[in-house]
Amino acid sequence: MSGIPPYATMPQRVWYYTFRVICGLIFAFLITPILVVMPLSFNAQDFFTFTPEMLRLDPEGYSLKHYRDMLGDDGNPWTGLWIGCALGVAWAAFGVYRRGSVSLMSLLPVVVLSLFGLIIGKLTGATGDWMVALRNSLLIAPVATVLSVGFGTLAAIGLSQPHVPFRRAIMAIMISPMIVPLIISAAGMYFFYSRIGLQGEYLGVVLAHAALGIPFVIITVTATLVGFDRSLTRAAANMGADPVTTFFRVQMPLILPGVISGGLFAFITSFDEVVVVIFVGSAKQQTLPWQMFTGLREQISPTILAVATVLVGISICLLATVEFLRRRSERLRGMSPS
Amino acid sequence: MKLTKTLMATTALTVAASAAVAEDMAMEMTLVSWGGSYQASQHKAYVEPYLAANPGVTVTWDESSAEAVAKLRAMDEAGNVTWDLVDVVASDSMRLCDEGLAMELDADTDLADAPDGTKASEDFGDLLVSECFAPQIVYSTTFGYRTDLVGDTAPTDICAIFDLDAYPGKRALQKRPIDNMEWALYCDGVEKSAIYDTLGTAEGVDKALAKLDTIKDQVVWWTAGAETPQLLADGEVVMGSTFNGRLFSAIAEQNQPIGMLWDMQSFDLDGWVVPANLPADRKARVMDFLKFATDTQRLADQAKYISYGPARKSSAPLVGQHAELGIDMAPHMPTDPANAGNVHIYDYEWWADNRDDLDAKFQSWLAK
């Protein structure tokens, strides 16, 4: 009935069940702290406490007020939604016209663009602490990611050429932001950026986060370049392609997985980063992690639990989307999902 | 030749333009405060009316008052002060003033007079504890207790915190020597007037720490003002010290079963300082705001949102009711006669001189 073969001995059977119990305990240990905050975020009080009303499952004990606190009541969510929806419909119609067939997937642009429109509209002109922080994070992280990916990929390609002098030393310097304790980089950046007028500026935070993201891109791209066959670029050059064409048409598609995963790391680094931004940024660039940090330190309010619950929900949605896309591409390539 | 002329003309224009701007006031301000309901009360009472009267001005809040001294030092060293107005407690304003990091203010010209014409210096009186300080509120660090966990007799005496027989259970105390050392000596039988003389001697310090030793294993040490209300709401502690406004909001706004123990409450002041050497346009804007935000009506308005006493004498009669709950705020003020029967006058100057030494002793005692 189970996975135990009939010839298993007694100790093997015992181990089989012990192993599963241990795995279950580890799973519970990892997931309980995340789950326990979710009901607390619906607390009707301003404390991290399961009130008697909550334990009785009395509706009086629950409320959405911390979610309202988080969202605020300004911004232009509906305008954004309509614009996004209209663009999505146009895109979907264009897709249907080009492919000449309609499927459920044709509606995807409408849903995605409406959602984006809703979020962008909500963030435009919002003044609540959390919405401003989210807006700052979303303005900083993608730009820092683009810079990290651009510079990191170029550096990795350059440093993988055997004839570059001092390549080990240069590599060590480039990836040092990942190894040096963050607080030291942050203090150094603070004084350096102050001198050149970048401290407290949007550009300063973006550059600082790009510097933190570059090592991740260099490492992942260097790893993919190890498996890259150099004779392909020579073959392309032999057929008359200039180096730029060769890069974009031959090399880039082959190292793309490394570039994308490096870019993801760079994005997460910027989106999660709290130490450097406190030093390099000013209150005008307060990002989401910074807001969470001050929220926990200065005001122990369940609003932060509401934010945590939403972030967990977003992570689950992202993972589910990635898994869905992976299965879809496997199916399209004729492989069965494992 | 033509290029040089154009360049010179452009430079001259730019210089003239920037000189013209310097006459005006900056349109942006960064205000530094403590976050939470206190900052919210400042926003509603000072900033919102100011923005309504001065359209186009934008205000950014930075919740960094807890590390204001260290950050201002770093900003000064880096030559890039990004703050315009900083909310600090009295002793921090003295340190910033002594180090030249805060600008000296002249109360009579920089702050508004009372509506009846009383000069600001007289209206604030003794509360102008430093040349750089524009006081806003009087607050106190005092105790709250769980009404349902203290038995039949609610504590009315500060020494209840050292009485583990009558009130067993955990207590929350602030993780710093200030106030705790004074309360310990007072409850060890030292006369109130002799507390600082005793604390100035090595034996006095040992005596205070020995008294604290009697409850050390029952103490939860807090660093943020929000912690004690949370611990009381959880029933984690029986009693704990925190800022009186935090206890007010837990009791009146959150309906928690918490009572106030006002005995030997420790008064302190909170107010604004202006960082030294601001550019002329930013300084002009912040001085304009400062004069507005510390006038009699604004200070009285703040008491609608939080139970801290306004620092001006002329504001006291204007203190009204809570903006949402409609209850009278006066009985919840630390300065109300019913609450201020027996208060501890916290000596800023003594602590400014002895803070580093006692901090070290207190920390090593904590680690033992």
- DSSP per residue, B276-324: TT--HHHHHHHHHHHHHHTSHHHHHHHTTTS--EESSGGGGGG--B-TT
Q: Is A337 inside any structural domain?
A: no
| A61-78 mean pLDDT | 87
With a cut of 70, say whether residue A8 has pLDDT above it. yes
| pLDDT score recorded for residue B15 | 45
Same domain as A191, residue A56:
no
How far apart CA B250 and CA B268 sit, in angstroms, is 21
Separation between Cα atoms, residue B140 and residue B135, nearest integer Å:
14
Residues A166-191 have a mean pLDDT of 92
Please report residues of B whose CB lies closer than 8 A to that of A195.
Answer: 78-79
Q: Where are the alpha helices (DSSP H) in chain B?
A: 2-23, 36-42, 48-53, 68-78, 90-98, 107-110, 120-124, 180-187, 195-199, 202-213, 227-234, 244-248, 280-293, 296-302, 348-367
- Of A105-114, A133-142, A236-245, B131-140, least confident by mean pLDDT is A105-114
- The amino acid present at B267, given as its one-letter code, is F
Per DSSP, what are the bridge partners of residue B27?
A: none
Same domain, A85 and A33: no
Q: Give the pLDDT score at B158.
A: 93
pLDDT at B23: 53
Contacting residues of A for B279, CB less than 8 Å apart:
none
**pLDDT average per 10 residues of sequence, chain B (368 residues):** 48 45 77 88 94 93 88 90 93 90 92 90 88 93 93 89 93 93 94 92 94 94 88 92 91 89 92 94 94 93 90 87 85 86 85 86 92
ipTM, two decimals, is 0.76
Which chain A positions have a beta carbon within 8 Å of B253's beta carbon? 46
Q: How many domains does chain A have?
A: 3
Domain match, A28 and A152 both: no
Both A145 and A119 in a single domain? no
Residues of B in Cβ contact (< 8 Å) with A63: none
* Cα-Cα end-to-end distance for chain A: 22
Classify residue A194: in a domain, yes or no.
yes
Catalogue all structural domains in chain B, each as residue range(s) with its CATH number: 2-138+270-318 (3.40.190.10), 139-268+337-367 (3.40.190.10)
Whether A180 and A108 share a structural domain: no
- How far is the alpha carbon of A295 from chain B, nearest alpha carbon, in Å? 8
Do A161 and A280 have their domain in common?
Answer: yes
- Measured between alpha carbons, how far is B199 from B182 in angstroms, rounded to an integer? 8
Contact at CB, A48 and B77, closer than 8 angstroms: no
Residue A4 lies in a domain: no
Q: What is the pLDDT of residue B22?
A: 43
A290 touching B (Cβ < 8 Å): no
In a domain, residue A202? The reply is yes
DSSP string, A240-282: T--HHHHIIIIIHHHHHHHHHHHHHHHHHHHHH--HHHHHH--
From A283, A284, A299, residue closest to B36, measured CB to CB: A299
> Looking at the domain assignment, is residue A308 inside a domain?
no
What pLDDT, on a 0 to 100 scale, did the predictor assign at position B19?
42
pLDDT-derived band at A335 (thresholds 50, 70, 90) equals low
Q: What is the pLDDT of residues A198-252, one digit of tens each?
A: 998 999 999 999 999 999 999 999 999 988 888 898 899 899 999 899 988 888 8
Q: Which domain holds residue A289?
A: 128-301
Mean pLDDT (chain A) is 88
Q: Give the residue from B278, B267, B349 showing the smallest Cα distance to B94.
A: B349
Q: Please check whether residue A319 lies inside any domain of the structure.
A: no
Q: Measure B112 CA to nearest chain A CA, in Å.
A: 29
How high is the pLDDT of residue B272? 96
Instruction: Note whether B297 contacts A: Cβ–Cβ < 8 A.
Output: no
Spatial contact of A280 and A208, defined as CB atoms under 8 Å apart? yes
Q: Are A119 and A140 part of one and the same domain?
A: no
CA-based max dimension of chain A: 78
Q: Please report the DSSP string for B242-280 in residue order.
A: EEHHHHHIIIIIT--SEEEEEEEEEEEEEEEEPBTT--H
Q: Are residues A52 and A112 in the same domain?
A: no
Residue A18 lies in a domain: yes
- Give the pLDDT score at B353: 82
Pairs of residues, one from chain A and one from chain B, whose beta carbons lie less than 8 Å apart: 68
Angle between helical axes of A252-272 and A202-226 (0-180°, round to 10): 140
Given this model, what pLDDT does residue B316 score? Answer: 84
Chain A touched by B77 (CB under 8 Å): yes
Q: Is A303 exposed, middle or buried (0-12, 13-18, 19+ CB in 10 A)?
A: buried
Whether A148 maps to a domain, the answer reads: yes
A135 with A278, same domain? Answer: yes
pLDDT at residue A55 is higher than 50: yes
Q: In the prediction, which pLDDT does B173 show?
A: 95
Q: How confident is the model over A11-24, as pLDDT tens digits?
A: 989 999 999 999 99
Q: What is the pLDDT of residue B290?
A: 95
